[in-house]
Amino acid sequence: MHLLPLLALLSLPFARAASDDAAHKKLVALAAAGGGLIKLDAASYDLLTTPNRDWSASIQFTALDSRRRCSPCKEFEPSWSAVAKAWTKTPAVHRDTHFFATLDFDDGQTVFQKLGLQSAPVVHIHHATEGPRATGKTGVSKYDFSQGFDAEPLAQALSSHTPIRIPYSPPFDWARWTTVGAGLLTFAVLLRFIAPILQSRWTWAISTILVSLVMTSGYMFTRIRNSPWMGGDGSWIAGGFQNQFGQEVQVIAIVYGTLGFAFTMLIMVIPYQATAQRQRFQIYLWSTIIMLVYSILIVLFKVKNRGYPFRLLL
Amino acid sequence: MPTAFPLPSDLSPATVTNTASLLRIVALSLISGAAIASRLFAVINFESIIHEFDPWFNYRATRVLAAKGFYEFWNWFDPTAWYPLGRVVGGTVYPGLMATSGVIYNFLHALNLPVDIRNICVMLAPGFSALTAWATYMFTKEMKDESAGLLAAAFIGIVPGYISRSVAGSYDNEAIAIFLLMFTFYCWIKALKLGSALFGTLAAVFYFYMVAAWGGYVFITNMIPLHGLVLILMGRFTSRLYVAYSSWYVIGTLSSMQVPFVGFQPVSTSEHMAALGVFGLLQIVAFVQLVRSHVSSKQFQDLLFVVLVTAGLFGFAAFVGLTYKGAIAPWTGRFYSLWDTGYAKKHIPIIASVSEHQPTAWPSFFMDLQFLIFLFPAGVILCFHQLRDEHVFVIIYAVMASYFAGVMVRLMLTLTPVVCVASAVAFSTLLDTYVDAAEPDDAVAPADSATPPESGATAKKPKKAAPAAPSTGSALSDLVAAAVPNKKKGIYGLDTRFAIIVNAVGMLAFFVFHCTWATASAYSSPSVVLASQNADGSQHIIDDFREAYYWLRQNTPETAVVMSWWDYGYQIAGMADRPTLVDNNTWNNTHIATVGKAMSSSEEVAYPILRKHDVDYVLVIFGGLLGYSGDDINKFLWMVRIAQGVWPEEIQEPNYFTPQGEYRVDEHASPAMKNSLMYKMSYYRFSELFGGGPSTDRVRNQQVPKVGPTLDYLDEAYTTENWIVRIYQVRSEDLLGRDLKSANAFAKGKKRKRSKPVSRRRPIL
**ipTM, two decimals:** 0.83
Classify strands B561-563 and B615-621 as parallel, antiparallel or unpaired: parallel
User: Taking CB atoms and an 8 Å cutoff, what residues of chain A touch B399?
Assistant: 208, 211-212
User: How far is residue A68's CA from residue B457's CA, in Å, rounded to a whole number?
Assistant: 60
What does the pLDDT read at residue B401?
A: 93
B678's CB contacts (< 8 A; 6+ apart) are: B599, B600, B620, B632, B633, B636, B639
Q: Write out pLDDT tens, residues B8-64.
A: 888 888 999 999 999 999 999 999 999 999 999 889 888 888 988 889 999 999 999
With 90 as the cut, is the pLDDT of residue B758 above it?
no
Looking at domain A15-159, its CATH class is alpha beta
Q: What is the mean pLDDT of residues B630-649?
A: 87
Residue of B236, B374, B431, B444 for testing the chain A interface, max A β-carbons within 10 Å: B374
Q: Prior bond to B126 cis, omega within 30?
A: no
Compute CA distances A50 → A24, A126, B147, B351, whole Å.
10, 10, 83, 43
- Is B417 or B358 the better-scoring residue by pLDDT? B417
User: How far does the CA of residue B233 sit from the closest CA of chain A (Å)?
Assistant: 11
pLDDT band at B618; cut points 50, 70, 90? very high
pLDDT band at A2; cut points 50, 70, 90? low
Q: What is the mean pLDDT of residues B67-95?
A: 89
Residue ranges and CATH numbers for the domains of chain B are 13-429 (no CATH), 541-732 (3.40.50.12610), 736-765 (no CATH)
What does the pLDDT read at residue B134?
A: 96
Q: What is the mean pLDDT of residues A239-247?
A: 85
What does the pLDDT read at residue B343?
A: 67
User: How far is residue B394's CA from residue B400's CA, in Å, rounded to a whole number?
Assistant: 10
User: How far does the CA of residue A310 sit from the closest CA of chain B (Å)?
Assistant: 8
What does the pLDDT read at residue B133?
A: 96
The DSSP output letter for A128 is P
What does the pLDDT read at residue A258?
A: 95
What does the pLDDT read at residue A141?
A: 78
What does the pLDDT read at residue A216?
A: 92
- Lowest mean pLDDT: which of A218-222, B732-736, B753-757? B753-757
Q: What is the mean pLDDT of residues B597-623?
A: 91
With 50 as the cut, is the pLDDT of residue B601 above it?
yes
What does the pLDDT read at residue B139?
A: 96
User: How far is residue B349's CA from residue B641's CA, in Å, rounded to a whole number?
Assistant: 7
CB distance B13 to B496 below 8 Å: no
A272's CB contacts (< 8 A; 6+ apart) are: B451, B458, B461, B462, B465, B487, B488, B489
What does the pLDDT read at residue B479?
A: 36
What does the pLDDT read at residue B241?
A: 95
Interchain contact B382–A (C-beta under 8 A) = yes
Inter-chain CB proximity A224 and B341 less than 8 Å: yes
- Lowest mean pLDDT: which of A254-258, A310-314, B726-730? A310-314
pLDDT band at B468; cut points 50, 70, 90? very low
Q: What is the mean pLDDT of residues B268-274?
A: 85
Q: What is the mean pLDDT of residues B85-109?
A: 91
Interchain contact B659–A (C-beta under 8 A) = yes
Which amino acid appears at position B719 of this protein?
T
- Lowest mean pLDDT: which of A25-34, A76-85, A144-153, B147-156? A144-153
pLDDT band at B333; cut points 50, 70, 90? low
User: How far is residue A121's CA from residue A80's CA, in Å, rounded to a whole number?
Assistant: 10
What does the pLDDT read at residue A145?
A: 77
User: How far is residue B684's CA from residue B633's CA, in Å, rounded to a whole number?
Assistant: 13
- Helix B13-38 crosses helix B494-522 at what angle (to 10 degrees)? 30
With 90 as the cut, is the pLDDT of residue B449 above it?
no
Q: Write out pLDDT tens, residues A264-299.
A: 999 998 888 888 888 999 999 999 999 999 999 999
Interchain contact B451–A (C-beta under 8 A) = yes
User: How far is residue A196's CA from residue B486's CA, in Å, rounded to a whole number?
Assistant: 28
pLDDT band at B669; cut points 50, 70, 90? confident
User: How far is residue B146's CA from residue B22's CA, in Å, rounded to a whole number?
Assistant: 12
What does the pLDDT read at residue B335?
A: 67
pLDDT band at B332; cut points 50, 70, 90? low
Half-sphere exposure of residue B184: CA atoms within 13 angstroms, side-chain side: 26
Inter-chain CB proximity B382 and A204 less than 8 Å: no
pLDDT band at B377; cut points 50, 70, 90? very high
- Is B708 or B181 the better-scoring residue by pLDDT? B181
By C-alpha distance, which of B704, B695, B714 is closest to B673? B704
Of B361, B376, B513, the CB nearest to A310: B513
Average pLDDT, chain B: 85
Q: What is the mean pLDDT of residues B711-721?
A: 90
Interchain contact B193–A (C-beta under 8 A) = no
With 70 as the cut, is the pLDDT of residue B480 above it?
no
User: Taking CB atoms and an 8 Å cutoff, what residues of chain A touch B630?
Assistant: none
Classify strands B714-719 and B725-730 as parallel, antiparallel or unpaired: antiparallel
Q: What is the mean pLDDT of residues B439-463?
A: 46
With 60 as the cut, is the pLDDT of residue A162 above it?
yes
With 70 as the cut, is the pLDDT of residue B442 above it?
no
What does the pLDDT read at residue B253?
A: 95
CB distance B461 to B445 below 8 Å: no
pTM score, two decimals?
0.83
The DSSP output letter for B2 is -
Inter-chain CB proximity A271 and B433 less than 8 Å: yes
User: How far does the CA of residue B381 sit from the closest CA of chain A (Å)?
Assistant: 6
User: How far does the CA of residue B698 sit from the closest CA of chain A (Å)?
Assistant: 18
- Is B711 or A138 the better-scoring residue by pLDDT? B711
Is A117 exposed, middle or buried (CB count within 10 Å of its CB: 0-12, 13-18, 19+)? middle
Inter-chain CB proximity B360 and A290 less than 8 Å: no
Q: Where are the domains of chain A?
A: 15-159, 217-304
| CB contacts < 8 A (A, B) | 205
With 70 as the cut, is the pLDDT of residue B552 above it?
yes
Q: What is the mean pLDDT of residues B675-690?
A: 89
Enumerate the β-bridge partners of residue B618. B563, B728
Residue in chain B closest to A139 (alpha carbons) equals: B649
User: How far is residue B341's CA from residue A224's CA, in Å, rounded to a whole number?
Assistant: 6
Q: Write out pLDDT tens, residues B509-549.
A: 999 999 999 998 888 888 888 888 787 878 888 889 999 99
User: How far is residue B729's CA from residue B617's CA, in Å, rounded to a whole number?
Assistant: 5
With 80 as the cut, is the pLDDT of residue B344 above it?
no
- Is B586 or B251 the better-scoring residue by pLDDT? B251
Q: What is the mean pLDDT of residues B166-186?
A: 93
With 60 as the cut, is the pLDDT of residue A50 above it?
yes
Q: Write out pLDDT tens, residues A87-100.
A: 888 888 888 888 88
pLDDT band at B225; cut points 50, 70, 90? very high
With 70 as the cut, is the pLDDT of residue B178 above it?
yes
Q: What is the mean pLDDT of residues B376-394?
A: 93
User: Taking CB atoms and an 8 Å cutoff, what residues of chain A touch B346?
Assistant: 147, 153
User: Taking CB atoms and an 8 Å cutoff, what residues of chain A touch B364?
Assistant: 241-242
Residue in chain A closest to B654 (alpha carbons) equals: A144
With 70 as the cut, is the pLDDT of residue B477 above it?
no
User: How far does the CA of residue B652 sit from the closest CA of chain A (Å)?
Assistant: 8
What does the pLDDT read at residue B469?
A: 38
Q: Write out pLDDT tens, residues B145-154.
A: 999 999 999 9
Q: What is the mean pLDDT of residues B115-126?
A: 93
Residue in chain B closest to A207 (alpha carbons) equals: B399
User: How far is residue B381's CA from residue A257's CA, in Å, rounded to a whole number?
Assistant: 12
Q: In percent, how much of chain A has pLDDT > 90?
A: 21
Enumerate the β-bridge partners of residue A39. A102
Inter-chain CB proximity A209 and B381 less than 8 Å: yes
Q: In percent, how much of chain B has pLDDT > 90?
A: 48
Inter-chain CB proximity B366 and A297 less than 8 Å: yes
With 60 as the cut, is the pLDDT of residue B725 above it?
yes
B757's CB contacts (< 8 A; 6+ apart) are: none
A227's CB contacts (< 8 A; 6+ apart) are: A221, A238, A243, A244, A245, A246
- Is A267 or A164 the better-scoring residue by pLDDT? A267
pLDDT band at B403; cut points 50, 70, 90? very high
pLDDT band at B472; cut points 50, 70, 90? very low
With 90 as the cut, is the pLDDT of residue B201 above it?
yes
- Lowest mean pLDDT: which of B281-290, B296-305, B369-378, B497-506? B296-305
What does the pLDDT read at residue B348?
A: 66
With 90 as the cut, is the pLDDT of residue B254 above it?
yes
By C-alpha distance, which of A92, A96, A101, A89 is closest to A126? A101
- Lowest mean pLDDT: which of A37-51, B20-34, B347-361? B347-361
Interchain contact B499–A (C-beta under 8 A) = yes
With 60 as the cut, is the pLDDT of residue B455 above it?
no
Q: In percent, how much of chain B has pLDDT > 70?
A: 88
Q: What is the mean pLDDT of residues B723-729?
A: 92
What does the pLDDT read at residue B478?
A: 39
Inter-chain CB proximity B500 and A219 less than 8 Å: no
Residue of B366, B394, B444, B498 for testing the chain A interface, max A β-carbons within 10 Å: B366
- Rounded to 10 degrees, the C-alpha dihedral B192/B196/B197/B203 comes to -50
Q: What is the mean pLDDT of residues A172-190?
A: 89
